Amino acid sequence: METAVQLISRSPITNKEYPLPQHTDDRAGIDNFLLLHPGKKVVVVQGLGFVGSVMALVVANALTEEYAVIGIDLPTASSWWKICSINEGVFPVLASDPKISQYYLNALQKKNYYATCDPYAYSKAAVVVVDINLDVKKQSSAIGQEGYSVDMSSFKKAIESIGNNCQPEVLILIETTVPPGTSEKIAKPILEDCLKKRNLPADKIKVGHSYERVMPGPDYIDSIQNFYRVYAGTDEKSANAVETFLRTVIRTDKYPLTRLATTTATEMAKVLENSFRAMNIAFMVEWSRFAEEAGVDLYEVVNAIRLRPTHKNIMLPGLGVGGYCLTKDPLLASWAKMNLFGSAEGLHQSEKGVSINDKMPLYAFEYLRSQYKYPLEGKKALLLGVSYLNDVGDTRYTPVEGFYDQLEIEGCVIALHDPHLLYWEEKNCRVNQNLDELLEQQYDIIVVTTGHKEYRSNPLLFEKLMQQMSTFIYDTIGVLTNDEIKMLSVKHVVKVIGRGDL
């Protein structure tokens, strides 16, 4: 049975199942696609995840050039359905950005976005954009990471797969967030080795790095096409080639490009950006506790501070930190410092920031347990929000997981709501999108776990909450207003992290 499951790749969007292919050969498919686009430059995007699939879409809708775009991913259970879906005319990412469907419709009409799993595609590419994942393995799961490891092997394999097939003068543009130093010390040597083994010249290849700043959500496309880009090349010809390419897809008149001296610098810029953000969240965690102890409404305090232009981006802690970047990028940097540059010391402060953030869901759970004075076993709980971020359906490293796990361990009966999700892949369970239906039942505990706009100053939700009886309502995000909390607290126990005891 287990083997049978692995031979199937299921689309979480349509629920359609695709048997995995017996082999990767798709020469005919690729050649047929390219016959439709004679003379066009071919851009291959490696990795069809949240960045790659949309980056490919942006390239298929380039501003000043017509490209033939091939998305490539592995024929695995988690990726094969994306390849099939793209070729069947169903975009593999659900997003609230209306530009996504508009761009995808364009690409379908122009027939210039094809997907495959065959590395033969690299042999046709003028540009390969690398958008694969590079994961950090934390020693414990969602909660309380202390140690971690970085495994470069699948990244190296992906680069090898390009090197074994590409033309000698191709531009390899790495967009993946990598440990600083990777393009120069890992990717370029692999590519040169591969070319040498193929008896091809190794000095013509162009390797660059430019990091995306993709925000899934209502501005998904704009976060690629209408935003500042930082880039560099491993040499001048590479940097020039990256610049030329980016100018065709990004609105550089409004958002000028920034060229840095080395790819190590751009790689560092990316992880530094995200470490800065992760640290600014982690910094607030202990202040949130202090505000609770002092009976201070931290939301009020932070809003007052944000009036200062220099302090606009001070953060508020919620249930925790999720997503693909902030949970690992500081660790990639620390790893690189020690493993690529031979330093005896990692980035202690930045690592600590990640570890503080990782512990937040556990703290929220402990807080719930300490405030909700009854045993949790058998209690009915409703979690409002599964995504790690408001207004998107993205469960990657969502802090809701650690919180959910604890409730489950304690024997709670948990219902899940999220307006953007039907299914929670990582937990293998259904998510209900119908809030009205869910709130027809009574719960012992209702926890706001994501700050979706459907939960913010929503009079209908508030009315339904008012109809709950003796329910413990725990708003970890601060979507309820002080007035709403006051009214709810007459009938229910209401707690809000960081707002102090009300």
- Say what angle helices 360-371 and 348-358 make with each other, to 10 degrees: 40
Q: Does 313 interact with a copy of itself (rule: CB under 8 A)?
A: yes
Q: Does 287 interact with a copy of itself (rule: CB under 8 A)?
A: yes
Nearest distance, CB of residue 298 and a copy of itself, angstroms: 8
Q: Does 349 interact with a copy of itself (rule: CB under 8 A)?
A: yes
Taking residues 195 to 234 in sequence order and writing x for each that binds a copy of itself by CB under 8 A, - otherwise, the string is ------------------x--------------x-x----
Q: Does 460 interact with a copy of itself (rule: CB under 8 A)?
A: no
Q: How far is CA 265 from the centre of its chain?
A: 22
| Binding piece for a copy of itself, criterion CB under 8 A, among 144-152, 162-170, 331-339, 485-493 | 331-339
Phi, psi dihedral angles at 148 (to 5 degrees):
-160, 160
Q: Does 246 interact with a copy of itself (rule: CB under 8 A)?
A: no
Among 89, 168, 201, 295, binds a copy of itself (CB under 8 A): 295
Q: Does 362 interact with a copy of itself (rule: CB under 8 A)?
A: no
Token couple for 25: 């050969």
Beta bridge partners of residue 273, listed in sequence order: none
18's enclosing H/E stretch is: strand 17-19
Residue closest to 418 by CA, chosen among 406, 400, 403: 400
Nearest distance, CB of residue 268 and a copy of itself, angstroms: 5
Residue pair 440/415 in contact by the 8 Å Cβ criterion: no
| Binding piece for a copy of itself, criterion CB under 8 A, among 262-270, 370-378, 395-403, 437-445 | 262-270
Residue pair 121/72 in contact by the 8 Å Cβ criterion: yes
Closer to a copy of itself by Cβ: residue 117 or 340: 340
Q: Does 77 interact with a copy of itself (rule: CB under 8 A)?
A: no
Among 94, 265, 413, 438, binds a copy of itself (CB under 8 A): 265
Nearest distance, CB of residue 35 and a copy of itself, angstroms: 42
| Binding piece for a copy of itself, criterion CB under 8 A, among 68-76, 346-354, 441-449, 454-462 | 346-354
Among 124, 188, 277, 359, binds a copy of itself (CB under 8 A): 277
Among 290, 374, 425, 441, binds a copy of itself (CB under 8 A): 290
Provide long-range contacts, Cβ within 8 A and 24+ apart, for 424-430.
Answer: 424/386, 424/395, 425/12, 425/395, 426/395, 426/398, 426/401, 427/401
What is the rounded distance in angstroms from the CA atom of residue 103 to the CA atom of residue 303? Answer: 37
If one counts every other C-beta atom within 10 angstroms of the C-beta of residue 230, the result is 18
Q: Does 181 interact with a copy of itself (rule: CB under 8 A)?
A: yes
Token couple for 335: 């790893």
32's enclosing H/E stretch is: helix 27-35
> In angstroms, what CA-CA distances link 414 with 28, 381, 408, 494?
49, 5, 7, 19
Q: Does 333 interact with a copy of itself (rule: CB under 8 A)?
A: yes
For residues 79, 80, 83, 85, the Cα torsion angle rounded to the nearest 10 degrees is -100
Q: Does 8 interact with a copy of itself (rule: CB under 8 A)?
A: no
Q: Which residues are near a copy of itself by CB under 8 A?
A: 180-181, 213, 228, 230, 258, 260-262, 264-266, 268-269, 272-273, 275-277, 279-280, 282-283, 285-287, 289-291, 293-297, 300-305, 307-308, 310-314, 333, 336-337, 340-343, 345, 347-350, 352, 356
